[in-house]
A and B are shown apart, each in its own frame.
Chain A
Amino acid sequence: AQSVTQLDSQVPVFEEAPVELRCNYSSSVSVYLFWYVQYPNQGLQLLLKYLSGSTLVKGINGFEAEFNKSQTSFHLRKPSVHISDTAEYFCAGRSSNTGKLIFGQGTTLQVKP
């Protein structure tokens, strides 16, 4: 089955600490991978995407993600989080068959002072 799995539903972290949000994808999902962020009461905003090339992708707001083909992972990282990073984060991948986006279940990042 085509799937994108986010391994943590909630990640609490203190301000200025590093964070990693984990995402794994099935082999039937193409290697077009995305991270979206949803701030409270807002729509989805693209953080970063991997299409090809360098496996380390840098996005907005200091986030980066690393594509790891052997582990079928695309984990999102930030070395030092801010209170304003509190949001829900979605990993997504393009289906190899249909081209549509398949979303993970979402991870709520809670940054505490």
Chain B
Amino acid sequence: EAQVTQNPRYLITVTGKKLTVTCSQNMNHEYMSWYRQDPGLGLRQIYYSMNVEVTDKGDVPEGYKVSRKEKRNFPLILESPSPNQTSLYFCASSTQGANTIYFGEGSWLTVV
């Protein structure tokens, strides 16, 4: 079954404690991206990756890092989380130029 898997689904953490949200896809997609969803703002892109070792900033990259060492994985790293990063995060993947994007089920992150 084609899927995008995120972990953890729910996390409460404290300010400044580094955390990583993993994302894995089993469709051999080149393109992967991270979004955050906030009330009244829709989904905003954080980072995206066109292929292995190719990453670029989205609209709201501050406070986040990503890496793409393997095609299937695209982890999101919060080196020093702050309360304004409390949000719902989605990972997504697609083939290059494709018009069907697959989303993970979301990761609820709370930073206190």
**Interface, chain A (partner B; CB < 8 A):** 4, 6, 9, 32, 34, 36, 41-46, 49, 51, 90, 92, 94, 99-101, 103-106
Contact = CB atoms under 8 A, between A and B. Distances in A.
A90 B43 contact: yes
Given A44-B90, A51-B99, A94-B99, 18 more contacts: A34-B99, A36-B103, A42-B105, A43-B4, A43-B104, A43-B105, A43-B106, A44-B103, A49-B99, A49-B100, A90-B43, A100-B45, A100-B58, A101-B43, A101-B101, A103-B35, A103-B43, A106-B42
Interface of B: 4, 33, 35, 40-45, 48, 58, 90, 97, 99-101, 103-106
A108 B38 CA distance: 13
B104 to A, nearest CB: 6
B101 to A, nearest CB: 6
Contacts, number: 46
Contacts of B33: 100
B31 to A, nearest CB: 9
Nearest to A90: B42
Contacts of A32: 99
A17 B54 CA distance: 48
| Most chain B beta-carbon neighbours within 10 Å: one of A4, A94, A101 | A101
25 contacts: A9-B40, A32-B99, A34-B99, A42-B106, A43-B4, A43-B90, A43-B105, A43-B106, A44-B90, A45-B103, A46-B101, A51-B99, A90-B42, A90-B43, A92-B43, A99-B97, A100-B48, A100-B58, A103-B42, A103-B43, A103-B44, A104-B42, A105-B42, A106-B40, A106-B42
